[in-house]
Structure 1
Amino acid sequence: MTEQAPPVASPVNRHTVHAKGREKLKAHAAMLLFAALIAGSFSFGGMAARHMDAGPLTLWRYLMTVVVMGALTFGILRVPFRAPQRIWRFALLGALIAVYMLTMFVALEFTSPVQTGAVFTLMPLISAGFALLFIGQKTRPDVFIALVIAAFGAIWVIFRADIQAILSFDVGRGELIFFVGVICHGAYVPLIRKFNQGDNPVAFGFWVVVFTIPWLLPTGAIPLATTDFLNLPPMVWATIAYLSVITTALTFMLLQYASMRLPAPKVLGYGYLTPTFIILLEGVLGHSWASPAVFLGALVTAAGLLVMGLLRD
């Protein structure tokens, strides 16, 4: 009886495995850039929030983003224009993003960019729960443990490295407000995969932005229409340009790309880098450096990212 040779992977299979590996590597790189750009939105958004209320500021940002996304989608990329199907998908996703953005700017009126960035890092753990609920995507025990450990680092930053504040649950108003938005964004990520069933990802992103605007009109339409734009500081104009082009259009596409290739917890696991990036950016901008104890908490959340990246999907 002759012994059979072990099966050899075909060139086609090896090519497929390597191609998937490259796609996942690109998705990880996309989310690394995402985290750095998001950090800028907290610092610059905090500067703009000193001169303009959250409602008109968010609406102005998204009106500009519609123009940018429209030009990119149908002008530069030449995606065929098609009316959106099942509009309720875009309306729901738009509502989640609208709440997230509004609560971020409102929170920045009460607390610092570093604190809001720390709240943002709770999103992967929340997203893991929604991923299980919406698309049946289970989080392995080792991934869940990494999420929990990193969440402890985020909590340390949120409570300003004050053990007494943690024990008495003395959390600021801004942090509580933004936590509502973080919950909405945590639900948004797995819903992208659930709702996008063959749609062009860029066109899909454009329609989500379009259907975000109706949710922003009640709080932003009248104040924006009566804004004295000529007397706004240049920083507000620069912030709107950054937010609409960079941290809305570009980060939206990065998130779309990664969400279709990586599990939801890993996608938002890159948010663990946000507080570290914000601390560095705030220091460079001259807004003061965080204390070493707070920075240590940010490093713990960043370490959670490293653990997440090393674990298999």
Structure 2
Amino acid sequence: MLLFSLLVSLSFFFGHFIAGDIDPGVLMALRFAVAAFMLWGLLLWLRVAPVWARFWRFALVGALMAIYFITMFEALARTTAVSTAAVFTLTPLMAAGYGWLILRHNTGPWVLAALLIGAAGAVWVIFRADLAALLRFEIGTGEAIFFFGALAHAAVPALLRRYCQDVSPLQSSFGTTVGALLVTWVYAAPEAMITPFLDLPARVWWVLAYLAIVTTALTFFLLQYASKRLPPAKVMAYTYLVPTWVVAWDISAGRWPASPILFGIAATLIALLMLLRVEVPARKTP
């Protein structure tokens, strides 16, 4: 999940370059199509059979992922990226609720404290340590729309652990990607019909390749792998590191953040260490 958060953060960095070149819905549908084709080829190469039995479980998880991306784009048309990112910090806490509801996993006080510290640190980084901007945060239509997307995304780890334990991460990654593809193509079909694909600049295809191969196929695999080994709240807690990674990429490009932002980064790292500390005794138990 540490690698997951790193790879996802790069998608924000690269996605900035093509924001005005292609409709977001079409880009999203293309990334799932390329990822599904690549995973299918990987299954054939490794001689692993796709799992079609009880395909509804993969379609359900894939649909939830698609809902997350669709509501994100719809929300961004109505509000700012900062506001949507702030709403997304609720996801680990939502995942803890799904963990209890679906798996009957109880979140102890130590893990709950880590989640709250991580959320506070992530919000501090997202708002660039600007307390006035944080206090001006208002719940509008965009935030409300994305809240349901975050709610859908938070259910994924618990559902994967409940229904996909009998298949490999690669098989479930392919199934969920196909499920997401079906939903997103229905959503993007009208705009796709009028998109001049041959006239798109080369940078769109390079970024699409990264989004499809890395932040769809690979991150789906990492999410499936982690969901079978970690409680849902801990899986989602690693997303708190995404704003920190984005700040790190800014630093690598020579753009240093304001000093107060470092307190938020420190909080997310403390939360991560708290979660890792809980894992140590669990692994020593026979």
CA RMSD, aligned part only?
Answer: 2.5
Correspondent of 2:39 among 37, 59, 69: 69
TM-score scaled by length of structure 2:
0.86
**1:290 & 1:106 partners in 2: Cα distance?**
29
Relative to structure 1, the CA distance from residue 176 to residue 294 in structure 2 (aligned partners, 3 Å threshold; closer, same or farther) is farther
Give a deviation string over 1:223-280, Cα, whole Å, max 9, x none: 2232212322222111110010001111111111111112222222222221111112
**Pair 1:107–1:40, CA change in 2 (3 A):** farther
Distance 1:267 1:67 in 2: 26
- Alpha-carbon distance in 2 for matches of 1:160, 1:176: 22
Q: What is the alpha-carbon distance in structure 2 between the residues aligned to residue 108 and residue 41 of structure 1? A: 16
Q: In structure 1, what is the Cα distance between the partners aligned to 2:11 and 2:145? A: 17
Residue 93 of structure 1: SS of its match in structure 2? Answer: helix
Q: Which has the higher contact order (CA 8 A, sep 6+)?
A: 2
Q: Which moved more, 1:203-212 or 1:165-174?
A: 165-174
Please tell me whether residue 170 in structure 1 is matched to residue 162 in structure 2.
no
1:175 CA drift (Å):
5.5
1:279 paired to 2:247? yes
What residue identity is the alignment partner of 2:20? R
What is the deviation of 1:104?
3.5
Q: Does 1:139 align with 2:107?
A: yes
Partner of 2:60: 92
Deviations for 1:33-83, whole angstroms, at most 9, x for unmatched residues?
Answer: 11110111222233333222221111111111111111112x23211244x
Q: Deviations over 1:186-227 (max 9, x none)?
A: 111111011114123311221111111221123211322322
Counterpart residue identity of residue 304, structure 1: A
Structure-1 residue corresponding to 2:180:
212
| Superposition deviation, residue 161 in structure 1 | 2.9
Alignment of 1:284-303 (within 5 A): 284-285=252-253, 289-303=256-270
What is the identity, as a one-letter code, of the residue corresponding to 1:86? R
C-alpha separation between the residues in 2 aligned to 1:58 and 1:127? 24
In structure 2, the residue matched to 1:80 is 49
The one-letter code sitting in structure 1 at the alignment partner of 2:115 is L
55 and 164 in structure 1: CA distance in 2 versus 1, 3 angstrom threshold = same
Where does residue 30 of structure 2 map in the other structure? 60
Deviation string 1:131-186 (CA, Å, 9 cap, x unpaired) is 11111111111111111121122233344433334445436876655443222111
Which residue of 1 is the match for residue 80 of structure 2? Answer: 111
Give the 3 Å change call, closer, same or farther, for CA 275–175 of structure 1 in structure 2: farther
One-letter identity of the residue aligned with 2:112:
F
- TM-fit CA distance, 1:107: 4.9
Q: Is the 8 A contact 2:125 2:244 kept in 1?
A: no
| % same residue | 43
Separation (CA, whole Å) in 2 of partners of 1:68 and 1:205? 11
Select 2:90's aligned residue among 108, 111, 122: 122
Match in the other structure for 2:18: 48
Q: 1:9 maps to what in 2?
A: none
The answer to whether 1:102 aligns with 2:70 is: yes
2:123 alignment counterpart = 155
Q: Does the alignment pair 1:186 with 2:154? A: yes
Cα distance in 1 for partners of 2:218, 2:157 equals 16
CA 173–279 in structure 1, closer or farther in 2 if over 3 Å, else same: farther
Measured in 2, the distance between the counterparts of 1:51 and 1:284 equals 25
Over 3 Å counting, the alpha-carbon distance change for 1:178 and 1:256 in structure 2 is: same
2: distance between equivalents of 1:107 and 1:46?
17
Which residue identity is paired with 1:36?
L
Distance in 1 between the 2:98 and 2:136 partners? 29
Match of 1:22? none
CA distance in 2, matches of 1:225, 1:248: 23
Change (3 A) 1:69 1:116: farther
- 1:120 Cα shift? 4.0
* 1:118 to partner: Cα distance: 5.4
Distance 1:66 1:215 in 2: 13
Tell me, yes or no, if the aligned pair for 2:117 and 2:271 is still in contact at 8 Å: yes
